[in-house]
Structure 1
Amino acid sequence: MAEVYRHSDALDIWPANTPSSLEDICIIYFLDHIFKFLEKTDDSYRLKQGITFPQGLSDKLLAKLVTHTKHLQDTDDNVFGIFNNRATTSLTELPLRYTAVSSDQLSYLCLHPLREIDIAYCSEIKGKFVKCINQAHRTLRVLQLGGYDQFERMEFLLEGDDQYSTPSEQGDGARSLSQSAIFVLPNLRSLSIRDINAFRPIDGVYIENVPLIDRVIRPLKSLTHLDLCDCHLEKKTLEEIGDLDLPNLMSLSMCDVLNGCETALDNLCRLTTLRHLDVSQGDDTTMFLPVQYPKPTDRLQAIIASMPNLRSLDISGTNLAGYAPVQKTSHRLEAKSKEEDPSDEDVGLPGSDGRQFNFLGLLNCADNASHRKNIPAQKVTGDFSEEQILLAVHVYRDKPNLLTRGFNYLFNRFRFETVKTHCLALEGILSGMERNKHDKHVQISGSASLFYIVKGCKKDRITHTQKRRVIGCLLDAMERHMAEHTMMRNGCLTLCHFNIPYEVLYCYNRLVRILLQMLRRDYNDDFLLRIGIFLLNSLACQVEGEHKQILGQTGVVEIMSNIIKLKVENRICDEILEVCWSTLWNVTDETETNCVKFMEQGGMYLFLDCFKMFPDKEELLRNMMGLMGNIAEVQKLRKDLMNKEYVTVFTNFLESTKDGIEVSYNAAGVLSHLLSDQEEEWTIESPSRQEVISRIVQAIKRWPLDSKRNINYRSFGPILHLVKCYQSHASQYWAVWALCNLTQVYPDKYCQLLKDEGGLELLEIVTRDPRPIDAIKQLAEQVITFINNRNCLPPCENVDDVEMNGDIENGNQ
């Protein structure tokens, strides 16, 4: 029977945003450090001696492995082996959809006392998985198969098995191939076979060579629920479904199966025990038009009459709901009495013969059936109301074509009307996207509505757990459907509304890899290029060295450099070029390996080319000089900067007034680091070392001490190094001025940081040392007095919300 989803009228009830249970925390810790608890075997891993998981915990562990890690997604690095030993683990469920489980691994897993198995869309199952499943014949109740030619190959998987040999090999009295049962599962209650195609040849043979009805379904006499969603079968097989002879069958789902086959629909009337029947149609073979059956009212009436227990019926995407009767016009003035014939009332479902249903599926039915009054059902799917749409989203989570239509209606409601129950919408979208990762239409349509929830008026009520599910769904979709620009656009725009980088630190590596892969593919897509770089730049901000190294190792420096080269070649200075330099500035911050990568990519040539081509672009120059400051902090790279042309550019920038003091300040910082080395390291004659020192001092004297800054320091380490540079008073002057400016303009942020890193002690030494010039000592004393006269609060970093301009897209409107 169809799941009955309860819509909360006028209430949007959200789960409590509470911490995870201790058990869940321990499981996540185990998964995050899983290889510390495992030993390598020839083909997988096993638990170290002494580690045991009881039955309930084993099921939870496997479920978390499937949904929260990549350890079961890759054939080269999976950990299925930890469940091979039933003495240390005990499973009752195998929720392995979309994993890389192989038939060999499945043979061990099926030795557990399993009640449920889901191996739909498992691409690596290519061996004799039938034998594996039959091992669980005593306990198995629920089985889900299909996808990736899995079921179609069953004939060839059975070749060579004596049990399934041909009649000629076994003699006249042997069972024929069409009569032998493939699955020996006497206690199986629910069977789902999805996405098989009888019209696609597998190894040169069609699926009809494995009689679906005779060898797979009919022998399962205990079946109560059968789901054949999206199975494309020949007419002969469709007609045989009415002759299943399954005495306990209560639920039959044939969504996207009949495709208008009249005789198959009529034959279903023989299944008199059904309580739920689904003959809906959602695929786009009819160009989104409902499937047309002749005499729809008569056919529906025959179905209902033949199934006395039927209380749940889905006829979405068809004309079986009939057509609304023409309103009768009455010219009498008196009111109708209650005793008059009720047939005068409009009938919401012609052919229902007064039957009242618990559930009716009327999404995309002919003549807007879901808009009618007097529909004889407690729950109805359709597009008339928010309740109908959300019910469709929840009920159709395993029916991708109908789910996509439900998502489309929900998207339009978010965009043009008001959705009241955001939490129910969110849970329905996430469930549908998680269950249909392979379907690009589901992912695109679902992500379009996620965008409106994540940025909507109730975004603050989204729990920590829900946020992680949203991020996980988006990354799964972007990873699987990289070629779909609409999917990438929706994913990036939605991710922009999270608090980056903090809310994505748990999946930092994966997100970086996906964004870089996207940028490598889409140099010519201006919007994806812009938003991808924006996200990478956000990921490079406010993170420590480990994460910056990850950015460098995955290729951010190379990608940014290549994009800059293309912009220079095309003589284009735009936001993309500016953010590329900003990203490089952030990525190289106190990260020597990334500075080296930049220089290896010909970074200084890029610097000169951009400067010569766009000398008046203030934002660009500020970002470029900020990056140069990071390069200059790496001592072994300073010799590469000691070039007459480079130093001349840096020195001339000292007089710049572009972007306030930023360009001049950054130029002084670069030169200050060059001057901090021994005098003999200054290997160029012009400009001379003394000339540069003099011009730095003059520049600093021009800067207003209360200047607002467009910079963010996580550490004062490089500046404090220059505070101790007594051999170059210009370098020391720049460093002390920087500390004075930052602590006075942004005291909440930088006073405590300076104290924590020992800056006050260094400045005290400067004030007592005879070598610094008076201007340096005065600034040092000013910093010390200012900090001592105020109560410093712990630093707090506020990341301003930045909205990436762009419209969300729904690819299936």
Structure 2
Amino acid sequence: MDAEGPPTLCDLCLAQVCRSLSSLCSMRADGSMSLIWAPVFPQETADQLLNHMAAKEILNDTTVGIFRNCKELRLRRASIRSCPLSAEAFHLALCPHRLLELDASWVSGGLTGADIVSGLASNPECRSSLQRLSLNGLRLDWESLEANGGIHVGFSSLRGLRMLNLANTDLNDAALEDICTLPHLETLDISCSAISKLTALLECKNTLRSLIAHRQRHLDMSPARLVFVFSQLHALKHLDFSEDHFSVDDSDGRDGDETVRQLLEGSPQVLPSLVSLDISGRKRISEAAIRSFVESRSGLVFLGLLATGVSSCDFFSTQKNLKVTGEADENQVCEALRRYRDRECFVREALVHLYSLTTDTDKPQPDVLKLVVSGMQRHPTSLHIHLVATACVFNLTTQDLAEAMPISLLSSTVTQLLNTMKNFPNHQQVQKNCLLALCSDYILQEVPFDKYLAAMLVINWLSSHEDPTLQRMAVAVISILVAKLSTEEMAQFSKDIFIMKQLLAIVQQKAMVGVVDSTLKFALSALWNLTDEMPVAARNFIECRGLELYEEVLESYYTEPSIQQKVLGLLNNIAEVEELQVDLMEEDLLEHILSLLQDSQVDVGVRYFAGGILAHLASRPDAWTLENELRSTVLKQLHDSIMTWTHLEREMVSYRSFHPFCPLLQTCQPAGVQLWAVWAIHLVCTQNTSHYSSMLEKEGLTELLKALAAHPSTHSDIKGLSDSILSMVEQHQIHAGAFNNQTAPQSS
């Protein structure tokens, strides 16, 4: 059971709306969508619909048009993060709303920060209502706005702003001065910007409660002056003055490090009410200074010390209310992954330490896995992050750990692994890590994900790698995935002759040295599944000279029933295709298969598949091109041999459908052919009555069996098995009917 529980009814409804937008909407002249009819949405539901569309990556200039209807869809807290929107679409769909919050971070499509601010300011209600605005990762680009005839409207026009996030923008000193005139500004993020002076912050010293100034490379202020500015921010509770330790050398970060040293070792009267301080990535920090700073500020609840070298200070064990990001233990590392999701340098650092901490873990940690996957999702192009994150995924899902994880979490994890394989196709270690994580029976069998995509990615990887261990895992994964594909997916997959060549090459590689290992068995299983009721794949097999190879394997592995079964199973699939039966009409091959059928010392599973090949070939006398005497022998030996077979408890074979059996069950067929077919159906029905009874009814085989049982010339052995199968079907119908009656709603 999924520990996270089922999705809410609201989420299900919104997901359905997202899937059905094209049928629910008409198109305006400008190509945007408009809902044909809509009730007045609860305000929160309108926000959720927008967020769902953004999360599902379907929010764009066309679909955002539904939000032009401000009466039925009233937005207050809007997120268009990472969506491709133009300035015009943004102005028409979002600016008319009385927004409280807007997250437009990392939007694409040409929308700039200047477009957003001027658009919002054009709505008098937004000027006062908007409290939170995030424009991380955007170009502000006031110059382009003015060049196109727009009016430069600064952030100060949005007088209600309390929180403003401008990380990774081209924010400059002039814009900062404008921002600091906002009367209610409480939270400001200016990380990774081009600011050279922080003096403007003194204008909002009585309101600013949180300052995030990560990676300020362009600051041109002395450490003493910076500390003075910080000391004057009387309302400040949260200060982030961290640094990207991967991309800074000693000389670049020296002033910042000195600022932090002076702050830590300075007067307790500087920022006495500080609740959180983040100095991760800073150098030359002493444990003594940290201890003194924390002891003099009793309200401190968070300290960022990742990549500083002092997070393992013994002093922290006595600070029960203090959360620390660092590398001393798993709690510190996970805290770093939670807080630094958007900072590649810190996510990378935290994952390196998490990998070491989880190498020998023996307890399920779904919360930790979530953090790892989140880091991968936030940084899809970072090789460094995906290299370590995929190794962490393996640590956290290996052995039995996956079985204790929520299915939905595993599903999103595997989806992310597949995205990683797509994004880094040529990086061997990343591909290896993904393959290691995927190579889990539980994940492959029980977790929903795009199995077709996974099979294609793994087969492509296999084509350029020959490491025996990885080859074994890749072939094992493909073998299981192929069996999980839908009929439509299998048809698409089987068209690719390249796939057939890859798998046959592995079989040939193993057969040349006569080895019996799991790689050979998995490759044979994959080929068997690939050709199951897939004539195109069967034809590809023959064109790739697979038949000649399989004849050699059949003879050289005569003492290996597990190998012989898989070889004969595929030849069964070939024999089911009428136009390919002629390729099997080789006297030496059929006599060898006949000898396997007759030999009582041979495993029943091997004899079963040998019988199947011969039954299909002998069922069409007009297509039989060899001596008639051989066909007569085949038919006699089929009957004689089958009657000696013992019932098999283990599941030996499964069928997608019973369609290939229909020609064999005709009343005009020889008894040997009919007997093999009814014995096969009886076998699988005994082992999985519910599944195969339903299949028999659905595909009309019960009528064929009834006709066979009733026909006067049908052999008694065949009648007996047919009656037994029909009895199982009848019992299944009775049980199914009784169950349905018990579970049906009662009228009284």
TM range (shorter): 0.7 to 0.9
Distance 1:85 1:131 in 2: 21
Residue 500 of structure 2 is matched in structure 1 by 561
Gapped runs of 5+ residues in structure 2?
737-748
What residue in structure 2 maps to residue 189 of structure 1? 162
1:26 paired to 2:17: no
The CA deviation at 1:211 is: 6.2
Partner SS state of residue 738, structure 1: helix
- Please tell me the residue identity of whatever aligns with 1:661: V
CA 1:563–1:212: 2 relative to 1, 3 Å: same
Distance 1:26 1:163, change over 3 A: closer
Q: Establish whether residue 111 from structure 1 lines up as the match of residue 95 from structure 2.
A: yes
| Residue of structure 2 in register with 1:335 after alignment | none
Please point out which of 61, 79, 85 is paired with 1:95. 79
Q: Name the CA distance, whole Å, in 1 between partners of 2:91 and 2:470.
A: 44
1:415 aligns with 2:372: no
In the other structure, the counterpart of 1:671 is 614
Partner of 1:734: 676
Residue 569 of structure 1, CA deviation: 6.8
Alpha carbons of 1:467 and 1:418: their partners in 2 closer, same or farther (altered >3 Å)? closer
Q: Is the 8 A contact 2:287 2:313 kept in 1?
A: no
Helix, strand or coil for the counterpart of 1:524?
coil
Is 1:66 matched up with 2:93? Answer: no
Which residue of 2 is the match for residue 361 of structure 1?
304
1:251 corresponds, among 191, 196, 210, to 210
Q: Which has the higher contact order (CA 8 A, sep 6+)?
A: 1
CA shift for structure 1 position 492: 4.2
- Which residue of the partner structure matches residue 280 of structure 1? 242
**Aligned residue pairs, count:** 709
Task: Give the Cα separation in 1 of the matches to 2:636 and 2:165.
Answer: 81
- How is 1:87-486 mapped onto 2 (pairs within 5 angstroms)? 87-113=71-97, 114-122=99-107, 124-126=108-110, 128=112, 130-137=114-121, 138=126, 139-147=129-137, 150-151=138-139, 154=141, 157-158=144-145, 160-162=147-149, 181=154, 184-195=157-168, 212-215=172-175, 218-219=178-179, 221-222=181-182, 223-229=185-191, 231=192, 233=194, 237-238=195-196, 240-247=197-204, 248-258=207-217, 263=222, 266-271=225-230, 272-273=232-233, 274-285=236-247, 293-294=257-258, 297-302=261-266, 305-319=269-283, 321-324=285-288, 349-351=291-293, 354-356=296-298, 357-373=300-316, 378-416=322-360, 422-455=365-398, 462-486=405-429
Query: Match of 1:143, SS?
Result: strand
Preserved CA contact (<8 Å) 1:218 1:244: no
Distance 1:734 1:634 in 2: 17
Structure having the larger proportion of residues in helix: 2
Distance 1:141 1:49 in 2: 32
Please name the residue that 1:56 is paired with.
44
- Aligned residue in 1 for 2:463: 523
CA distance in 2, matches of 1:791, 1:765: 20
In the superposition, relative to structure 1, how do residues 675 and 516 fare at CA in structure 2: closer, same or farther (>3 Å)? same
Q: 1:23 to 1:225 in 2, by over 3 A?
A: same
Q: Retained in 1: the 8 A contact 2:667–2:714? A: no
Contact kept? 2:227, 2:263, Cα under 8 Å: no
Give the residue type in structure 2 aligned to 1:58.
A
State how far apart, in whole Å, the 2-side matches of 1:361 and 1:221 are: 29
Asked whether 1:539 is paired with 2:481, we answer yes
SS where residue 114 of structure 2 aligns?
Answer: helix
Cα shift at 1:514: 4.7
The CA distance in 2 between the partners of 1:411 and 1:452, in whole Å, is: 7
Query: Does the C-alpha gap of structure 1 residues 143 and 517 become closer, same or farther in structure 2, counting only changes over 3 Å?
Result: farther
The correspondence for 2:70, drawn from 86, 90, 99, is 86
Give the Å deviation of 1:355.
1.7
For the 8 Å contact 1:501–1:538, the answer to whether it is kept is yes
SS of the residue corresponding to residue 226 of structure 1 reads strand
Instruction: Classify 1:613/1:157 alpha carbon distance in 2 versus 1 (closer, same or farther; 3 Å).
Output: farther
Mean alpha-carbon deviation: is it higher for 494-503 or for 267-276?
494-503
Q: Check the 8 A contact 1:255/1:280 in 2, yes or no.
A: yes
Q: State the Cα deviation string for residues 282-310 of structure 1 (Å, max 9, x = none).
A: 44236999976359643423486433432
1:334 corresponds to which residue?
none
Query: SS of the counterpart of 1:100?
Result: coil
- Supply the distance in 1 between the matched residues of 2:481 and 2:551 (Cα, whole angstroms): 26
1:428 is paired with a residue whose SS is: helix
Q: Among residues 660, 664, 667, which one is paired with 1:722 in the alignment?
A: 664
Give SS of 1:350's match. Answer: helix
Aligned-partner Cα distance in 2 for 1:741–1:64? 49
- Name the SS of the counterpart of 1:135 in structure 2: helix
Deviates more, 1:390-399 or 1:758-767: 758-767
Structure 1 residues not aligned, in runs of 5+: 1-13, 166-179, 197-209, 325-346, 795-813
| Alpha-carbon separation, structure 2, partners of 1:259 and 1:160 | 27
What is the identity, as a one-letter code, of the residue corresponding to 1:125?
Answer: G
- Give the SS at the match of 2:556: coil
Q: CA RMSD in A?
A: 4.4
Could you tell me the TM-score, scaled by structure 2's length?
Answer: 0.80
Question: Could you give the per-residue CA deviations for residues 387-421 of structure 1, whole angstroms, max 9, x where no partner exists?
Answer: 3333222222232322332333333222246768x
Q: Indicate the SS of the match to 2:324.
A: strand
Contact in 2 for aligned 1:622/1:666 (Cα 8 Å): yes
Hey, what's the Cα distance between the residues in 2 that align with 1:777 and 1:419?
Answer: 56
Shift of 1:783: 5.2
Q: Does 1:595 align with 2:535?
A: yes
- Per-residue deviation at 1:314? 1.0
Q: How far does the alpha carbon of each residue in 1:539-583 deviate from its partner, in whole angstroms, 9 at most, with x for none? A: 34356xxx2312332567434213135436755776445434423
CA separation in 2, counterparts of 1:354 and 1:554? 67
The Cα shift of 1:603 comes to 4.7
Offset at residue 57 of structure 1 (A) = 2.1
Match of 1:606 in 2: 546
Distance 2:472 2:460 in 1: 13
Once the two structures are TM-superposed, the CA of residue 612 in structure 1 deviates from its matched residue by 2.5
Question: Residue 24 of structure 2 contacts residue 36 of structure 2 at CA under 8 Å; is this kept in 1?
Answer: no
Q: 2:491 aligns with which of 548, 552, 558?
A: 552
Residue pair 1:117, 1:144 contacting (<8 A) in 2 also: yes
What SS does the corresponding residue of 2:247 show, helix, strand or coil?
helix
Task: Specify the SS of the correspondent of 1:117.
Answer: strand
**Letter of the structure 1 residue corresponding to residue 173 of structure 2:** I
Q: How far does residue 732 in structure 1 lie from its aligned partner after superposition?
A: 0.5
Separation of aligned partners in 1, 2:63 and 2:475: 35
Q: Does the aligned pair in 1 maintain the 2:459–2:499 contact within 8 Å?
A: no
Deviations 1:361-392 (CA, angstroms, capped at 9, x unpaired): 12232344544345596322223344333322
**Alignment TM-score, normalising by the size of structure 1:** 0.74
CA 1:30–1:653 in structure 2 vs 1: closer, same or farther (change >3 Å)?
Answer: farther
Match of 2:655, SS state, is coil
1:627 counterpart letter in structure 2: L
Q: Distance in 1 between matches of 2:19 and 2:424?
A: 26
Structure 2 Cα separation of the partners of residues 460 and 611 of structure 1? 41
- 1:397 is paired with a residue of what secondary structure? coil
